[in-house]
Amino acid sequence: MANGRYEQGLKVLKELNGSEDFPPLEAIRSFYPAFADFIVSNGFADVYTRPGLDVKQRELVTLSSLITQGAADQLDFHIHAALNVGLSPTEIVELVLHCSAYVGFPKAIAALGVVMRIFKERGVQI
């Protein structure tokens, strides 16, 4: 799909991912191409490029939402993305701590486990 929104979404995805190579999207594309295009055009172009919030703020909101849902599988990408767009390690762990008061310790501890693994992989210290 070659249109302005799709290209804009790819640009956002590259900024968040730090690379054009994104195997999860390619896996979706190989199974259901229309859904992969929808993710890029809607999830990244339409949502991430709206005015009012910068990309760092959007990642804070996204991380908070994923922690609230207990969506640890999606946290992986968005913790990397948060670091890639300039959120500090301290901001990320403080977000997890803050969320614990509202979503409970089990979800926050699960999220912290993902954070710890990613920080270790990337050599990030807090």
Average pLDDT of span 82-97: 98
pLDDT of amino acid 119: 98
Predicted pLDDT of residue 14? 94
* Mean pLDDT for all residues in the chain: 95
Predicted confidence (pLDDT) per residue in 101-111, tens digit: 999 999 999 99
pLDDT in tens, 27-64: 999 999 999 999 999 999 999 999 999 999 999 999 99
Report the pLDDT value the prediction gives residue 19, as an integer from 0 to 100: 86
- For the chain, the structural domain boundaries read 1-50, 54-126
Question: What class is the 54-126 domain?
Answer: mainly alpha
pTM: 0.90
Residue 115 scores a pLDDT above 60? yes
CA distances from 49 to 4, 16, 38, 44, 124 (A): 12, 12, 15, 7, 28
